[in-house]
């Protein structure tokens, strides 16, 4: 064999070895996969499953707007294309009617379908992998007791090569390990329960975490998550200037998750959906546990007074125009001095959603308006009207710049381009 021939043979062997390793990491079953089903009384399991499905907001992703509950078909947008959620009703040909509790556990725990297909991580199995076998069985029992709906699953529409099984195997080799929630003996039982819910079932980090170029969650928690289609920015739970709640009293965190409202902040946009569909239905004990865990999350060090430092002085004409627009369109609800009305209209003075570096949510709120979630604690939330047809991009940028620099707020200006990006993405 020539030298080039030998080198080529070695290269081919190396590539084959790498391929086999990737494949193995992608499809191997961890020992826990064979964890035995846990026998529980059927009625009890179903009730528990219904509750757990709330905690995991399975309904939110697995239901088409206006469609049958759990019949799937909802488009989940990702930077790599669209994935459609699956039919989880017990219909035999199209849903999970033929599935065993083992098959179901393998999907949640290992991200593999009944036929062995590797599932796309648009299904947050990087979080659901922490669900216990007992909780998986309860979810299964409950879903199997729902009315079957015949609705065929849609193939994912991911750009080549992202949807291929080889690409998924590669991704999983890099970023996914089937996990169990290890309890931390140095923490209270309450903290551990909170960690289980927040990191596992409720998959909070799937929105709130920053992602790398291949869509995997970054470790550490600095920076929040940019949601697809400019739908919003889920601020970091590890940053006091974003969504960190380390400084909030425990009761305010519980109130936020239970009612969508609190003295410290309120839920809007995609977070309003989470409160509406999921957290408002959880028991007080579980909300206390989640709040305990969230409050104890390590926080990134406070940034330098960056906002003030980079806030560029805005021209006098623009300042006046901003104040004028605010007066005409916003003051009647948010108050002359941005003080808001407690329980009805959020204060804009001192509001971290207004001075946050990421402006997407604020632009979104003004373009499209919004409602806080309707919850038992706040049954008739007040609404914010949409200004998409009332104000142009320049005016919206000007009034938002006013918000960010008035009443003690000190954050950099909002540009017309930032508004234009959100408007264009939503118009598609
Ligand atoms: C963020 C959206 C989202 C949430 C939340 C979510 N799912 Fe899914 N799920 C998906 C998507 C998308 C797929 C399809 C993935 C694919 O086709 O590769 C899926 C697939 C599945 C599958 C595999 C079905 C099959 O036919 O292979 C099961 C089982 C499942 N989900 C159960 C659940 C349960 C139980 C919950 C709640 C604890 C849940 N999902 C929450 C988006 C979600
Ligand atoms: C579907 C994506 C999504 C999921 C899942 C999600 N969030 Fe959020 N969250 C957001 C967005 C977007 C915002 C910013 C809008 C707002 O402030 O309400 C937000 C805001 C927040 C805030 C800041 C509120 C404020 O006023 O400062 C907290 C705290 C929070 N979320 C906690 C959670 C917890 C706990 C979970 C898990 C139970 C969770 N989120 C799950 C998208 C999400
Ligand atoms: C009819 C009353 C009303 C008017 C007029 C109004 N808003 Fe609002 N605004 C609300 C309500 C209610 C919310 C909370 C909505 C939600 O939770 O989705 C809100 C939310 C917001 C938010 C998000 C705050 C946060 O904490 O997430 C911003 C920013 C905002 N408004 C700015 C404006 C601006 C700028 C104008 C004028 C162009 C305006 N609003 C006019 C009622 C109003």
- List the chain pLDDT tens, one digit each, 428 residues: 688 888 888 777 778 777 777 766 666 665 455 556 666 778 999 999 999 999 999 999 999 999 999 999 999 999 999 999 999 999 999 999 999 999 999 999 999 999 999 999 999 999 999 999 999 999 999 999 999 999 999 999 999 999 999 999 999 999 999 988 889 999 999 999 999 999 999 999 999 999 999 999 998 777 899 998 778 999 999 999 999 999 999 999 999 999 999 988 899 999 999 999 999 999 999 999 999 999 999 999 876 555 444 556 678 888 899 999 999 999 999 999 999 998 889 999 999 999 999 999 999 999 999 888 999 988 999 999 999 999 999 999 999 999 999 999 999 999 999 999 999 987 65
Q: Is 144 in the pocket of ligand 1 (CB under 6 A)?
A: no
Calculate the CA 408 to chain-centre distance: 31
Query: Among the atoms of ligand 1, which is closest to the Cα of residue 136?
Result: 35
Q: Which ligand is closest to the CA of 403, given by its number?
A: 3
Query: Among the atoms of ligand 1, which is closest to the Cα of residue 74?
Result: 12
Distance of CA 140 from the midpoint of ligand 1 (Å): 13
Distance of CA 85 from the midpoint of ligand 1 (Å): 6
Q: Angle of helix 284-296 relative to helix 189-196, nearest 10 degrees?
A: 90
Question: What pLDDT is attached to residue 37?
Answer: 67
Alpha helix locations (H) across 315-370?
Answer: 316-329, 331-334, 352-355, 360-368
**What is the rounded (10 degree) CA torsion for 175, 176, 177, 179?**
120
Q: Which ligand is closest to the CA of 112, given by its number?
A: 1
Question: What pLDDT is attached to residue 309?
Answer: 47
Among residues 344, 341, 343, 340, the alpha carbon closest in space to that of 354 is found at 340
Asked whether the beta carbons of 364 and 236 are under 8 A apart, the reply is: no
Q: Is 260 in the pocket of ligand 3 (CB under 6 A)?
A: no
pTM of the predicted protein model: 0.93
Q: Which ligand is closest to the CA of 86, given by its number?
A: 1
Question: What pLDDT is attached to residue 129?
Answer: 97
Q: 64: Cβ–Cβ under 8 A, 6 or more apart, which residues?
A: 71, 72, 73, 74
Nearest CA, atom 18, ligand 2: 267
Domains and CATH numbers, the chain: 19-175 (no CATH), 189-296 (no CATH), 306-427 (1.10.760.10)
Calculate the CA 126 to chain-centre distance: 13
Total residue length of the chain: 428
Q: Is 195 in the pocket of ligand 2 (CB under 6 A)?
A: no
Question: What pLDDT is attached to residue 106?
Answer: 97
Q: Is 351 in the pocket of ligand 1 (CB under 6 A)?
A: no
Question: What pLDDT is attached to residue 18?
Answer: 78
Q: Is 225 in the pocket of ligand 2 (CB under 6 A)?
A: no
Q: Is 351 in the pocket of ligand 2 (CB under 6 A)?
A: no
Query: Among the atoms of ligand 2, which is closest to the Cα of residue 197?
Result: 38
Q: Is 243 in the pocket of ligand 2 (CB under 6 A)?
A: yes
Nearest CA, atom 19, ligand 3: 384
Matching residue, tokens 């000190």:
410
Nearest CA, atom 40, ligand 2: 204
Distance CA 293, CA 311 (A): 35
Q: Is 361 in the pocket of ligand 2 (CB under 6 A)?
A: yes
Q: 55: Cβ–Cβ under 8 A, 6 or more apart, which residues?
A: 197, 201, 202, 278, 281, 282, 286
Q: Which ligand is closest to the CA of 119, given by its number?
A: 1
Nearest CA, atom 17, ligand 3: 372
Which of 384, 388, 397, 407 is the best mutation target for the ligand 3 pocket, counting ligand atoms within 8 Å of the beta carbon and taking the most?
384
Q: Which two tokens stand for residue 265?
A: 């902040």
Nearest CA, atom 25, ligand 2: 265
Asked whether the beta carbons of 396 and 413 are under 8 A apart, the reply is: no
The pLDDT tens digits for 289-305 are: 999 999 999 999 876 55
Distance of CA 140 from the midpoint of ligand 2 (Å): 27
Distance CA 346, CA 261 (A): 10
Q: Is 408 in the pocket of ligand 3 (CB under 6 A)?
A: no
Query: Among the atoms of ligand 2, which is closest to the Cα of residue 262?
Result: 26
């Amino acid at each position: 064999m020539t030298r080039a021939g030998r080198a080529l043979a070695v290269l081919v062997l190396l590539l084959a070895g790498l391929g086999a390793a990737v494949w193995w990491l992608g499809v191997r079953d961890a020992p826990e996969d064979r964890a035995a089903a846990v026998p529980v009384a059927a009625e009890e399991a179903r009730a528990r499953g219904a509750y757990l499905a709330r905690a995991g907001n399975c309904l939110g992703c697995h239901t088409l707007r206006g469609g049958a509950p759990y019949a799937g078909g909802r488009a989940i947008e990702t930077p790599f294309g669209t994935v459609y959620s699956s039919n989880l009703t017990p219909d035999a040909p199209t849903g999970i009617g033929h599935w065993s509790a083992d098959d179901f556990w393998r999907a949640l725990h290992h991200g593999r379908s009944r036929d062995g297909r590797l599932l796309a991580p648009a299904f947050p199995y990087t979080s659901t992998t922490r669900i216990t076998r007992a909780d998986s069985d309860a979810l299964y029992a409950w879903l199997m007791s729902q009315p079957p709906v015949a609705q065929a699953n849609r193939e994912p529409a991911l750009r080549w090569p992202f949807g291929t099984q080889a690409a998924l195997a590669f991704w999983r080799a890099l970023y996914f390990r089937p996990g169990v929630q290890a309890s931390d003996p140095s923490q209270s039982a309450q903290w551990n329960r909170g960690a289980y819910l927040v990191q596992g079932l409720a998959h909070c980090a799937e929105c709130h975490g920053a992602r790398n170029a291949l869509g995997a969650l970054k470790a550490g928690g600095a920076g929040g998550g940019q949601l697809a289609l400019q739908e919003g920015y889920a601020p970091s739970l590890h940053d006091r200037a974003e969504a960190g709640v380390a400084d909030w009293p425990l009761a305010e965190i519980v109130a936020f998750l239970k009612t969508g409202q609190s003295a410290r902040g309120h839920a809007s946009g995609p977070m309003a959906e989470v409160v509406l569909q999921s957290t408002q239905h959880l028991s007080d004990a579980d909300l206390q546990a989640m709040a305990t865990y969230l409050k104890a999350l390590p926080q990134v060090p406070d940034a330098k007074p960056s906002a003030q430092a980079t806030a560029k002085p805005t021209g006098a004409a623009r300042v006046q125009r901003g104040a004028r627009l605010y007066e005409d369109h916003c003051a009647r609800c948010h108050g002359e001095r941005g003080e808001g009305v407690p329980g009805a209209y959020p204060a804009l003075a001192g509001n971290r959603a207004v001075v946050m570096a990421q402006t997407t949510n604020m632009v979104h709120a003004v373009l499209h308006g919004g409602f806080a979630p309707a919850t038992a604690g706040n049954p008739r939330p007040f609404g914010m009207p949409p200004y998409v047809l009332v104000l142009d991009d320049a005016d919206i940028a000007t009034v938002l710049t006013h918000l960010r620099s008035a009443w003690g707020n000190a954050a950099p200006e909002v540009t017309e381009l930032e508004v234009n990006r959100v408007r264009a993405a939503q118009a598609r």
